[in-house]
Amino acid sequence: MTAQLFFYLSGVVAVLASLLVVTNKNAVHALLYLVVSLLSLAMCFYLLGAPFAAALQIIVYAGAIMVLFVFAVMMFNISQQDIQRESQWLKGSIWFGPVVLALVLLAEVVLVLQMQPSWSTQPVQLVDARTVGTLLFGPYLLAVEIASFLLLAGLVGGYHLAKNLTGSAGSNGDGGSA
C-alpha cells in the first residue's frame, strides 16, 4: 500500500512540475521544473520495478537536458546585458518551487529505500541492459529511429534559428559578391 502511495505522490509531482514547465515563461525556470519532472518519472519507474529504466531516465534525460541547455546558451549570442538581466531573475525565491518538489522526491526515495524489503510482496523482474537493448533494436527500432530524426530536426532548427543572420548573407548584405 505504501508503494502505491509513493507512486501516486511521484506522479503528482511529475504532473505539477510538467505543468510548471509548460506555463513558465522563463527558460531557466522551466528547465529547473523539467529536471524535477524527469526525476519524478525516474522514481515512478523505480517503484514499478524497473531500476535500470530509472537510472536511464536520470542519466539520459535529466543529464542530456542540462547538456542541451548549455549548448543552447552557447549557440545563442548572449550579451552582458542579458547575463545581468538573468542574474536578477535568479534570485533565491524562484528556487522555492523546484526545491520543494525535489525535497518531496528526496524524502520519498529515502523512505522507499528504508522500507523496500517490507513492501515488496510480488516478485520483481529486473530489467537489465541487454533486455533494454534487445527491445530498443528489435520491436521498437522504428520508434527509436523516429525519435532520433526528431532530435536531429530540432538540432538543425536550433542551429538555424541561433546563427547570426547578418554575417551569413555575404559581405555587402545582398547575398551576392561585391
CB atoms within 10 A of CB 161: 11
Average pLDDT over every residue of 91-99? 76
pLDDT of 7: 87
pLDDT of 83: 65
Q: Where are the domains of the chain?
A: 2-126, 128-171
User: Is the pLDDT confidence value at 130 over 80?
Assistant: yes
Higher pLDDT, 9 or 174: 9
pLDDT tens digits for range 32-77: 888 888 889 888 888 888 888 888 888 887 677 667 776 776 666 6
Whole-model pTM? 0.54
DSSP string, the chain: -HHHHHHHHHHHHHHHHHHHHHH--SHHHHHHHHHHHHHHHHHHHHHTT-HHHHHHIIIIIIHHHHHHHHHHHHHS---HHHHHHHHHH--GGGGHHHHHHHHHHHHHHHHHHHHHHHH--S------HHHHHHHHTTTTHHHHHHHHHHHHHHHHHHHHHHS-STTTS-SSSSSS--
CB atoms within 10 A of CB 35: 22
